[in-house]
Amino acid sequence: MSVSKIGRMPIILHRKINGEIKTLTIKKNKSNQYFAIFCCEEYPSKKVKTKGSVGIDVGLDTYADLSDGTIIENPKYLRESEERLTRLHRELSRKKKGSNNRKKAKLRLSRQYQKIDNQRMDFLHKNTNMLSKNYGLLKVEDLKIQNMMKNHHLAKSIADASWGTFVNMLSYKVVANGGQLIKVDPKYSSQDCSNCGHRMKIPLHIKIFCCENCGLTINRHLNASININGREGHSRTYTLVRDCVRPSNKATVYEARTIFRGNTIENPHHL
C-alpha cells in the first residue's frame, strides 16, 4: 500500500476492497494497534426480501427474542471478564507511577478491554447480518436507553448489551439489503396479552406470562415480541454516506478496515 507523504507500507488486508477509494485514515488504539480505514464509493444492488416481518424484544437474560420463536442468547462478555479485569486493575495500581512496569500493566489492561469490545462487536455484526438477510421487515422497541441506564442495578448489564449499537447496525444493514426497520412504542409490550390484549402488571423477575382473561401461558419475552410485531411505528432510516466524502446520489460509502503491527507482517498485501 502506498500512502502520500509516508510511502509504501505492508498491511494485512482482511477483505477485498470494492469500489473507488476516496479517503484513507490511519488510527491507533490504546492497545497499540494500527488501523487503515478506507472510505470507498460503490453502487450496491438491493436484494428483494421474501420473508415477512418479525418483532424483536431485547433483554438481559436472553439478548433478543423474536416473534417467530427464535432466541439469541446473551453472551455477557463484560460480566464474564470481570474477574480478570479486577486482577489487571489491581496489578496496575501496585506499579510505581512513571515506571516501565506500569506502562506494561496499563497495556495489558487496555488489551483486555479491547478484547471485550472486539467480542461484543463480532457478536453484534454476526447477528445483525443474520437478521437483515433473513427478514424483510424488522420491528424493535423505541427504547430510551439513557433513561434506563439511570437504574444503577441494571446499568452495567445494559451497557454490556449495547442495544443502541445493535439497533444502529440493523438500521443500515436492513436498508442495504432492501428491507425496512420500524421502531414502535415500547409501552406495555410485556404486560399486554398477545392473544386477547388483556393488560396485567407483572414483576420483572416473573418470566412466564399467564393471562387472567384467556388463560394464555407463554414466555414473557416471546409475548412481548409478538406484541411488537403487531404494532405500528415509525420507519427508521439510515444514511449510508459517512465522513467527508460526497458521492453521487446513487452511490454508497462504506469502511474497509485493515491492520498492521510494526514490522511483523503476516501475509502482507500491497495495493
For 4-60, the pLDDT digits (tens) are 777 888 888 877 888 888 888 888 888 888 888 888 887 766 565 556 889 999 999
Rounded to whole angstroms, the maximal C-alpha distance in the chain is: 73
Whether pLDDT at 193 is above 80: yes
Residue pair 196/213 in contact by the 8 Å Cβ criterion: yes
State the average pLDDT for the chain: 82
Cα–Cα distance, 25 to 256 (Å, whole number): 11
Q: Work out the angle between the directed axes of helices 82-94 and 100-134 (0-180°, nearest 10).
A: 160
- Cβ-contact 183, 234 below 8 angstroms: yes
Q: How many residues does the chain have?
A: 271
Residue 261's pLDDT is 35
Query: To which residue does cell 414466555 refer?
Result: 219
Q: Between 116 and 265, name the one with better pLDDT.
A: 116
Starting at the edge strand that comes first in sequence, how are the strands of the sheet with 62-66 ordered? Answer: 71-73, 62-66, 53-58, 137-141, 180-184, 233-236
pLDDT at residue 257 in the model? 37
- Please give the DSSP secondary-structure letter assigned to residue 136: S
Cβ neighbour number for residue 61 with a 10 Å cutoff:
13
Cβ neighbourhood burial of 220 (10 Å; 0-12, 13-18, 19+): buried
Q: Is the dihedral of CA 8, 13, 17, 23 positive or negative?
A: negative
Reference 17, options 41, 35, 34, 33; nearest CA is 41
* pLDDT the model gives residue 24: 85
**Would you kindly state where each structural domain of the chain is located, as residue ranges?**
1-43+251-271, 44-250
For residue 25, the surrounding DSSP H or E stretch is strand 20-28
Sign of dihedral through CA atoms 218, 219, 222, 226?
positive
- Does the pLDDT value for residue 88 go beyond 80? yes
Q: Are 88 and 108 in contact (CB under 8 A)?
A: yes
Identify the band that residue 223 occupies on the pLDDT scale cut at 50, 70 and 90. Answer: very high
Q: Which residues contact 154 (CB under 8 A, 6 or more apart)?
A: 60, 148
pTM for this one?
0.77
**What residue spans of the chain are helical by DSSP H?**
77-80, 82-94, 100-134, 145-148, 155-161, 163-176, 220-229
**Cell numbers describing residue 26:** 490511519
pLDDT bin (cut points 50, 70, 90) of residue 249 is very low
| CB-based contacts of 66, cutoff 8 Å, min separation 6 | 54, 55, 56, 57, 72, 225
Mean pLDDT computed over 253-258: 36
Summarize the confidence of residues 221-225 as an average pLDDT. 92
* Bridge partners, residue 26, by sequence: 36
